[in-house]
């Protein structure tokens, strides 16, 4: 006897019963989220500069920098539309890699400029 139901992956087409289409899977927008996180980090860097250099409060500037990294990542993820723990973990790992590489490259460029 053959089974009349189709096997394999169901397509995103209307059901023969109620004519409601199922939604295709949503692709996370990591690029958009990273872009918004970088915007958040730029704003935090401007605030850190003002607090630590203009107002002469370097300790407070350090705490604001730490909070700015966290808040920039949160801002980027929420503006980018991330949902679910898995998307947030992948996004956090991506941001950590970007920060690690940016700080390392920035330190090398600074050392080359300083010491020749």
For residue 41, give both structure tokens: 């980090």
Nearest to 77 by CA among 85, 99, 67: 85
Higher-pLDDT residue of 97, 20: 97
Kindly give, in sequence order, each residue whose CB lies less than 8 Å from that of residue 49, ignoring residues fewer than 6 positions away.
61
3-state helix, strand, coil in the chain (%, to 5): 70, 0, 30
Residue 40: which H helix or E strand, with range? helix 30-49
Considering the entire predicted model, what is its pTM? Answer: 0.68
pLDDT in tens, 26-69: 777 888 999 999 999 999 999 999 999 999 999 999 999 999 99
């Amino acid at each position: 006897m053959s089974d009349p139901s189709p096997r394999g992956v169901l397509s995103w087409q209307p059901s023969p019963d109620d004519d409601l289409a199922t939604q295709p899977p949503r692709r996370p927008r990591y690029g958009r989220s990273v872009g918004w996180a970088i915007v958040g980090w730029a704003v935090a860097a401007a605030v850190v500069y003002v607090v630590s250099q203009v107002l002469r409060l370097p300790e407070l500037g350090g705490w604001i920098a730490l909070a700015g990294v966290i808040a920039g990542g949160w801002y980027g993820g929420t503006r980018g539309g991330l949902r679910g723990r898995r998307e947030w973990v992948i996004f956090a790992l991506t941001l950590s890699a970007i920060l690690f590489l940016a700080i390392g490259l920035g330190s090398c460029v600074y050392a080359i400029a300083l010491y020749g």
